[in-house]
Amino acid sequence: MKSLFLRLLVSMWGTMVVILGLFAVIYAVAIPKDLNEGPRPFLVRMLTLRAEAALRCPAGAGGSCAEVLEPVDSRDDRVSVYRGEELVLGRPIAGAAAIQAEARSKPGGAALRSDDVDLTAVVLPSDPSLAAVAVGPVRSPWHFIIGLDTLPYRLGVIILVTGAVSFALARWLTRPLGVLRGATRKMADGDLTVRVSPELGDADGETIALGRDMDAMAERINDLVESHRRLLRDVSHELRSPLARLAISLELVRRKAPADVSPALDRIERETERLNAMIGELLVLSRLESAGAIESGEPVDLAGLVEPIAEDANLEGEDKGIRVEVHATPCRVRGDAEMLRRAVENVVRNAVRYSEPGATVDVRVTAVDGVAQIRVRDRGPGVPAESLDRIFEPFYRVETDRARSQGGTGIGLAITQRAVRLHGGTVEARNADGGGLELLLTLPLAS
């Protein structure tokens, strides 16, 4: 039972059950049983005394004798004296004959009947032919609280009230937790600018203190991430100039170097170009990480975007006999066409790079349930299940030197993921049935 509302509700119900149980024990132990089986002895005694006092009144004192039988206040019974069906003293009482007969049939000479009013009959010891019949006041509204016939209604009221109170209390207690949970979810998605203190409102002091600590933590993490991005961007910019000078120097050396040095110079040139490409991708990644979400943009036809990418990939995979096949339906999204082209190109080129020689790379563009889907499947070795989510991290290697041996920089998929996220989409990787890796890019269709 993980719901706070259910815990509060069950706790309140359990408390009331314990209280009712204790009341039942006290009632059973402390109150004699005969009080539940008929009129209470105290009531019987009072009715008997009032009736006999009225009967002993002088013959000429009719008014004062009648007053003895009348109630003193609203809590008292009104008493009349009967001999059979004959009214001796007091005012007539409806149902007096039946309750009187019931009293005479019982060993104690007393009977009690409770309907809308209470009727009590007591056979007088001084003259068994006489019976005192008392009618109680109209039943008090407070009888709803103590009467057994209203027990189902009381239980219903208890359930409704405790349920409403528990629900309100649970909402009040969990609202700050919902705010904190939403903030942590945004932080997990990369939004480090979120702050929760202004939204906590009238929460308790401990929760507000936790919110302040969380804001301080988010601010500190944001500063660290920004400094990291700034360092990465600055270093990448600074490396561009030495690399340019290195390329010029390499050409000068190549002109004067003997022929046997040419292979070494070619290797230096390849590594320089690779380093230059890596720096370019780092700059792109840095720009994507610092960019905000793309709210609008130009209309982009994904089918028209994928076709030239596939043609370039076919040229790249020609040496290995790898062919890229495209199956596309018209899909239009809004966004940055160049950014989307780069995102798709990175995925397709990776698929060509890791596919087996002579294999076919499948690229499918479809529209499903209001979103555009781009599926790219290679025919390579796939990725271990524990690494499927990590391949989008910059420089992450599934195997040691795997990307380097294939000529990759380890940044392409990171660029793809961030570019798609900026367009409000998602990227998912999974191992396809029959082998190979399949990447699914999902983007919202243009309205």
The arithmetic mean of pLDDT across residues 113-122, rounded, is 79
- What pLDDT is recorded for position 78? 84
**pLDDT tens digit sequence for 28-62:** 665 554 444 556 677 788 888 888 888 887 654 55
Is residue 291 within 8 Å of residue 422, measured between CB atoms? yes
What total number of domains does the chain contain? 3
**pLDDT tens digit sequence for 351-375:** 998 888 888 999 999 988 888 999 9
| Same domain (yes/no): 247, 383 | no
- The set of long-range contacts for 86-93, using a CB threshold of 8 Å and a minimum separation of 24, is 88/55, 88/130, 89/51, 89/54, 89/55, 89/65, 90/54, 90/66, 93/119, 93/133, 93/135
The arithmetic mean of pLDDT across residues 216-230, rounded, is 82
Write out the two tokens for 344. 């798709």
In a domain, 50, yes or no: yes
Domain end among 97, 112, 139: 139
Q: How far apart are CA 147 and CA 265, in angstroms?
A: 104
Domain end among 139, 158, 186: 139
In a domain, 23, yes or no: no
Q: What percent of the chain has pLDDT over 90?
A: 6
| Same domain (yes/no): 314, 390 | yes
| Same domain (yes/no): 385, 318 | yes
Full-model pTM: 0.52
| Same domain (yes/no): 101, 127 | yes
In a domain, 385, yes or no: yes
CATH number reported for the structural domain that contains residue 378 in this entry: 3.30.565.10
Domain end among 290, 310, 327: 290
In a domain, 262, yes or no: yes
| Same domain (yes/no): 313, 331 | yes
In a domain, 190, yes or no: no
| Same domain (yes/no): 228, 276 | yes
Query: What sign does the CA torsion over 295, 300, 303, 304 have?
Result: negative
CATH number reported for the structural domain that contains residue 281 in this entry: 1.10.287.130
Strands 323-328 and 131-135, by their bridges, are unpaired
| Same domain (yes/no): 238, 303 | no
pLDDT band at residue 126, thresholds of 50, 70 and 90?
confident
| Same domain (yes/no): 267, 338 | no
| Same domain (yes/no): 279, 327 | no
Q: Which residue range is the domain that position 365 belongs to? A: 298-444
Question: Left (φ > 0), alpha (ψ -120 to 50) or beta: where does 424 sit?
Answer: left
Q: What angle do CA 235, 238, 239 make, to 5 degrees?
A: 85
| Same domain (yes/no): 352, 409 | yes
The arithmetic mean of pLDDT across residues 164-169, rounded, is 80
348 Cα distance to chain centroid:
39
| pLDDT tops 60 at residue 400 | no
The arithmetic mean of pLDDT across residues 414-432, rounded, is 88
| Same domain (yes/no): 340, 233 | no
Residue 258: DSSP 8-state? -
Which residues are annotated as catalytic?
Answer: 237
Tell which wins on pLDDT, 109 or 237.
Answer: 109
In a domain, 182, yes or no: no
In a domain, 193, yes or no: no
Q: What angle do CA 341, 345, 349 make, to 5 degrees?
A: 175
Q: For all residues of the chain together, what is the average pLDDT? A: 79
| Same domain (yes/no): 251, 279 | yes
In a domain, 26, yes or no: no
